[in-house]
Amino acid sequence: MIYNAKYERMPCEELMQLQIERLQSTLNRVYRNVAFYKDSFDENKIDIGKIRSIGDMRQLPFTTKEDLRKSYPYNMFAVPLRDIVRIHSTTGRTGKPIAIGYTRNDILHWSELVARVLAGAGVTDNDFVQIAFDYNMFTGGFGLHYGAEKIGASVIPSSQSGNVQRQILIMKDYKTTVLLSTPSYALRIAGNLKEMGIHPDELNLKSGLFGAEPWDEATRDRIEERLHLSAFNMYGVNEMMGPGVSGECSEKNGLHINEDHYIVEIIDPLSWEPLPHGVEGELVITTITREGFPLIRYRTGDLSSIIDEACPCGRTTLRMHRVAARSDDMVVINGMNVFPAQVGDVLKKTTGINPRFQIIIDDVEGEDVLELQVEVLENMFDDEIKKLMDLKYGIAAGIERELGVSAKVIFVEQMTMFRTSEGKVKKVIDKR
């Protein structure tokens, strides 16, 4: 179903006019109201009056996560604080968090965008939508809630935190028809179903929308097989309000981008040069309707590519390929973002040196399991088993504390780790 045909099926020429109007007014606003952008445009000698087409955007500088951190908490807001009606934030696990402000209009747009994504997966006002995303500083729970409510579905805000089995009982008793969660959590639910002796056919699940972490087609198959539902992919970024950037239609071949609110580009993550449609690179997004927290050419760190062929579903918007990886090696383990560099930091802190390491992630009964292999160096080696064990536990505790995930630590001999064809140790091996 197409929620808003006017925009989702907008002829290309009309969309281009709308995009340039919105881009120009966004640029005029950020230049006037956000010191970061004024300085950045002035420094790069950019005359925003000369940005005449979407193609001209290439002249504009990028915005990075680091820029947002430096502006913490409110320096990137483009409206006075009294116009902000909501603040969400990133976890700040990899550094300072980022505060994300929303105006009243931003919240209205957010609801609309999520409603489109949900409708794309066939959600209607007859559905019981169970939202197994946390309702907190993280954007997932609230964003999906607004969208589902806007469609008129019966919303069950079950959240992710807490007992999985209780989640399943709610699903069973309330006759949930649509599940919204991370793909890994969906698999956890599937694993627990088995444990509880509930057959998926005893549930009323019809479809599910999954996102907030990179996943692949094999995971889609596993979820569909174990939960007996039709699984759809959705994509969002906290910094882009949260869910609602793009979502799959019934074709399940790429995610339709809400182009009347977001302009997407793909760049080479190393040279920062724009890449043509179809080529994979880092996803860069510019907001063109946002009032509270507009972002120009924001580097998401997610790897994707653009599909510009017509879609049989009738939507005219560009599609993006599923995000399967990140340009910065970030992996999501049980819903937690983990960067290999953080693991390196923990190792440095606990051992005092920089040993080589490898993160191996596997799926055991729907739970992500993290194994950390650490290369034992001469100067680390100790005859005393106890000391080695202490070190091992020290590392595991450090990982748990700093990253929020538990890890099994294994010491391995030199040169035994899996290497790439170039002989480099791959930091992450994802077996999921």
Partner 1 sequence: MLKIRNLHSGYGNLRVLKGVSLHVNAGEIVTIIGGNGSGKSTLLRTAAGIVAAQEGEILFNGKDISYAAPEKIVGAGCSLVPEGRMIFDTMTVRENLVLGAYARIRSARLKDMEAELAVIYSMFSRLREREHQLGGTLSGGEQQMLAIGRALMAQPKLIMLDEPSMGLAPIIVKNIFEEIRKLRDAGNTILLVEQNARAALRIADRGYVIETGQIVMEGTSEELLNNTTCSGRIWGKIIRA
**Residue 385 neighbours by CB under 8 Å, 6+ apart:** none
5, 12, 25, 410: which one binds partner 1 (CB under 8 A): 25
The count of chain residues that interact with partner 1, using the rule CB under 8 A, is 25
43, 45, 55, 82: which one binds partner 1 (CB under 8 A): 82
- 124 in contact with partner 1 (CB under 8 A): no
- 150 in contact with partner 1 (CB under 8 A): no
- The rounded distance, in Å, linking the Cα atoms of 338 and 321 is 22
Stretch that binds partner 1, among 80-88, 201-209, 241-249, 301-309 (CB under 8 A): 80-88
Stretch that binds partner 1, among 20-28, 187-195, 232-240, 387-395 (CB under 8 A): 20-28
- 38 in contact with partner 1 (CB under 8 A): no
Q: What are phi and psi of 339, to 5 degrees?
A: -105, 135
- 203 in contact with partner 1 (CB under 8 A): no
Tokens coding 331:
């992996």
Q: b vs e for 412-427, b when ≥16 Cβ sit within 10 Å of the residue's Cβ?
A: eeeeebeeeeeeeeeb
Tell me, what DSSP letter sits at residue 354?
-
Give the residue from 301, 235, 307 showing the smallest Cα distance to 267.
Answer: 301
CB of 291 to partner 1, least distance (A): 7
Stretch that binds partner 1, among 97-105, 203-211, 218-226, 304-312 (CB under 8 A): 97-105
CB of 305 to partner 1, least distance (A): 29
- 42 in contact with partner 1 (CB under 8 A): no
Provide the β-strand partners of residue 284: 265, 299
Tell me, what DSSP letter sits at residue 257?
E
- 240 in contact with partner 1 (CB under 8 A): no
Q: What phi-psi label fits residue 162: left (phi over 0), alpha (psi between -120 and 50 degrees) or beta?
A: left
- The rounded distance, in Å, linking the Cα atoms of 208 and 233 is 9
Tokens coding 412:
């391995």
Tell me, what DSSP letter sits at residue 8?
H
Q: Which of residues 282-321 bind partner 1 (CB under 8 A)?
A: 289, 291
The site for partner 1 (CB under 8 A) is made up of 17-18, 20-22, 24-25, 28-29, 32, 48-52, 79-80, 82-83, 103-105, 108, 289, 291
